[in-house]
Structure 1
Amino acid sequence: MAREVDPSLTEGIREFLPCPTPDAWVAEALKQEETLLIDHAHCERKAAATAMKLMHDHAEWDELQDKMSRLAREELRHFEQVLAIIRRRGYRYRRIAPSRYAAGLREGVRAGAREKLVDLLVCGAFIEARSCERFERLAPELDEEIGGFYYRLLRSEARHFRDYLHLAEQFNQAPVDDRVVAFAELEAQLITRPDSQFRFHSGPPRPVQDCRPALP
């Protein structure tokens, strides 16, 4: 079993997120180690790609370049580390369908250029915060290799959601509390609504329907 997580590492994250991960999701994650790791690797790779796209689209913004280049390097390094665990365990890294989570959050992104960037940055904050919250939930439950790895990820990635929020407020030149509230409601629905497939950011598993014939 991995060591207990220091609560100070997630200070601010639990307050930022609208709800905790359901216990049913944690129980399902412990049953689906292979899918958990493969989808986690995809999440790390996509997080790096998102940071690099922001850098490409906003080359004139120095602070964004600095924060996103560091974030992209860290996410790619974490991708490599998850990939190494996958291979050591005899699993095959492969493409799998993504969860509804990131796409669901982006349904709330506004269309205007300025509004879109603010909303994408707020979405990034939620994705990073939820990832850390799940590392915290899983680290004490998994074996030493994966649990210890998730504990270390929590230590290194807890800063990411604050970076996204800071950039959103800087670009908006004002607090973004209203957008946080709007996305918090959407995020809570995505995290608590039963999901038909298990993924790193999925909701709790959908209950299996009882297909037995009704008694006469």
Structure 2
Amino acid sequence: MYNKHLLEPIYGFLKCTTPDSWVEEACKPENLTVILRDHLLCELKAAQSAAFLLKRYALTDDGKEQITQLIEPYEVFAYKGIGSLETLKGKSNISKSIRPKDGCSYGKDMIDKMVLLIREELHHFYQVLEIIEQQGLTYRPITASRYAKGMMKHVRTFEPAALVDKLIVGAFIEARSCERFAKLAPYLVDETLQKFYISLLRSEARHYQDYLELAQKIAGENITKRIEVFANIESELIISDDFDFKFHSGTPKIIVPV
């Protein structure tokens, strides 16, 4: 179905695999709308997170404006319901090159990696929206799971440690997405959705590696211990009971009416 060697580094990076009970819940027809709507917003949040890092740490004012304009149509659709597949078509491109601000030693590398990631995540957003419409479902916003916030609250508050931690968190989010797509795909009845999830594996695997490479470069020292800290936090979020079923949620804890 896919190149298993692609996932070997992912399995070595993550401390646990997705619980089978999550896959069972995700495969229920009534949860398809939850999975797809949450997936759509996850793609947007991935683009927003990368954009935040660029604007906070690497870009000139002109670059910040370009990134803001790139993402804005997707945000307006996702949160305000303004727009459509037609208005979003071809919007994931940047008209001119973006340069780093003066004195940012890692700026060009961050821009190269994060701009590509943003463009890919926005394209995936568009693809998920296509599938939502093909399935005859209606998009409406959905609240975020505890997952990303559960890791971000452990980010250190001084620089460059805060940036390093944010990049490590980004790596775990991308790695978990890749692992989850791979685990869920074989059980999906819908062939279009199955093929789509498999098609995402290569980019998600590269995104996690890009985040880690940036973290290591900026830290200037071994980051193994910080990776281990977040590996433990991330795995606890995945294997612990979770009453809120979402794409990145933990072990489903279903309330049975009495």
Task: Compute the TM-score of the two structures, normalised by the length of structure 1.
Answer: 0.93
Partner of 2:117: 71
Partner of 2:35: 36
Alignment of 1:97-108 (within 5 A): 97-108=143-154
Tell me by how many angstroms 1:33 deviates: 1.0
Task: Give the Cα separation in 1 of the matches to 2:251 and 2:136.
Answer: 27
Secondary structure in 2 matching 1:12: helix
Task: Give the Cα separation in 1 of the matches to 2:241 and 2:24.
Answer: 14
Task: Give the Cα separation in 2 of the matches to 1:209 and 1:43.
Answer: 28
Q: Indicate yes or no: 2:204 matched with 1:182.
A: no
Partner of 2:127: 81
Task: Give the Cα separation in 2 of the matches to 1:209 and 1:159.
Answer: 40
1:129-148 CA-to-partner distances (Å, cap 9, x unmatched) read 00000010011111210000
Q: Over the residues paired in the alignment, what is the CA RMSD in angstroms?
A: 1.1
Partner of 2:179: 133
Residue 63 of structure 1 aligns with an amino acid whose one-letter code is D
Q: Among residues 201, 209, 213, which one is paired with 1:154 in the alignment?
A: 201
Secondary structure in 2 matching 1:113: coil
* Percent sequence identity over aligned pairs: 49
Task: Give the Cα separation in 2 of the matches to 1:155 and 1:168.
Answer: 20
Task: Give the Cα separation in 2 of the matches to 1:210 and 1:45.
Answer: 35
Partner of 1:214: none
Tell me by how many angstroms 1:89 deviates: 0.8
Preserved contact between residue 118 and residue 168 of structure 1 (Cα < 8 Å): yes
1:27-53 CA-to-partner distances (Å, cap 9, x unmatched) read 000111110011000000110111111
Preserved contact between residue 5 and residue 140 of structure 1 (Cα < 8 Å): no
Preserved contact between residue 101 and residue 201 of structure 1 (Cα < 8 Å): yes
Tell me by how many angstroms 1:157 deviates: 2.0
Relative contact order: is structure 1 or structure 2 higher (C-alpha 8 Å, sep ≥ 6)?
1
Deviates more, 1:76-85 or 1:135-144: 135-144
Task: Compute the TM-score of the two structures, normalised by the length of structure 2.
Answer: 0.78
Query: Unaligned stretches of 5+ in structure 2?
Result: 59-103
Alignment of 1:1-216 (within 5 A): 4-31=1-28, 32-59=31-58, 60=104, 61-142=107-188, 143-209=190-256, 211=258
Residue 114 of structure 1 aligns with an amino acid whose one-letter code is P
1:89-141 CA-to-partner distances (Å, cap 9, x unmatched) read 11111111100000001111011121110100000000000000001001111
Alignment size in residue pairs = 208
Task: Give the Cα separation in 1 of the matches to 2:228 and 2:202.
Answer: 26
Query: Unaligned stretches of 5+ in structure 1?
Result: 212-216
Tell me by how many angstroms 1:210 deviates: 6.7
Task: Give the Cα separation in 2 of the matches to 1:183 and 1:157.
Answer: 18
1:147-183 CA-to-partner distances (Å, cap 9, x unmatched) read 0000000122210100000000000012210111100
Tell me by how many angstroms 1:88 deviates: 1.0
Segments of 4+ in structure 1 off by > 6 A? none
Preserved contact between residue 101 and residue 202 of structure 1 (Cα < 8 Å): yes
Task: Give the Cα separation in 1 of the matches to 2:50 and 2:177.
Answer: 16
